[in-house]
Amino acid sequence: MKNNALYYSVGALLYCPANKNSIADSVISERFGKKYSLALCLEDTINDAFVAEAEQDLIASLNKIYESYQTKEFYLPKIFIRVRRPEQICRLAMALGQGIRAVAGFILPKFSLENAKAYISEMIRVNEKIDQKLYMMPIYESESIIDLRYRADTLYQLKDHLAAAEELVLNIRVGGNDLCNNFGFRRESTESIHRIRPIADLFSDIVTVYGRDYVISGPVWEYYAGENWDKGLADEIHDDRLCGFVGKTAIHPNQIPVINRGYQISEENYRDAKAVLGWNQQNAEFVSGSHAKKRMNEYKTHQNWARQTIWLAEAFGTIAEQ
């Protein structure tokens, strides 16, 4: 389990095509608020024939954001570049010039045994070239993790590869829609992805393999308007949290406040977490009633839950009721 709130702070990761020319002004004007992260995508959201132009748009946008930040105070989100291929990482980092200072890292799509070594090698190399830490967020969405005959071996082999650069892995991400596409699934706004058993089983395997060592972010929710879209999102976030996910990909600004609320910590949980972590080691008993006298806190059993609760509270804040 990661022992720093940084890994829990990506939160609502808003996806945006890298060629969207208005994105720099939107960031500078704080159009999306003051609590989100941003992914500038060069992959699925860009027509194959326009990648070179999109790269130039991305470079211009990031330099505008960086230059503006030198003279004007505004919320600067964690910004990630979603590349298509490993070789884009160092090339773009060098082409950005000072604009790389506005970048938190790179998103690695369709992370698989075919590209893992190349991606990791490029991430290590770019961190040797640039005098700032650049993180990576691999996405588990390729067909290679679907086949039950090889799934466990594939997931553990990928984890072994990541061990070479574990401190650079900010989050593990899952591609819910890509995985659903393999089966022809698409959920309605009233349906949680965790009710789709083949996908839920896949998620469970990913959390089992990676959840003790990495923060794993929840899948995208594609609804941002219409009847009860926000309730559906809130319900799925509840399922995400219960199943071991932290944070969520957003495809529209409307989703950001819902995601942020969904990861706030109740004051009751926060108090209990503080009590567990502050337990008097001289006590004869390592179990006690909670602050609200509704459940039992156990020092040995609830240590990891308590640490994660404190880090989430640091990243998202607390609320009176949840």
Segment 142-167 mean pLDDT: 97
Is 251 in contact with 82 (CB distance < 8 Å)?
A: no
Question: Rounded distance, CA 164 to CA 41, Å?
Answer: 26
pLDDT tens-digit map of 298-315: 877 888 999 999 999 999
Write down the pLDDT at residue 2. Answer: 75
Give the model's pLDDT for residue 286: 62
SS3 assignment, position 173 = strand
Model confidence pTM above 0.85: yes
Choice between 62 and 295, residue whose per-residue pLDDT is larger: 62
Quote the CA–CA distance of 19 and 57 in Å, as a whole number: 5
Instruction: Flag the least confident range among 85-94, 131-140, 263-272, 294-303.
Output: 294-303
pLDDT at 146 over 70: yes
Give the pLDDT score at 208: 98
* pLDDT of 31 above 80: yes
Distance CA 248, CA 215 (A): 12
Q: Tell me: the pLDDT tens digits for 189-211? A: 999 999 999 999 999 999 999 99
What integer best gives the mean pLDDT of the chain? 94
279-289, pLDDT tens digit by residue? 766 564 666 76
**Integer Cα distance of 32 and 303 in angstroms:** 35
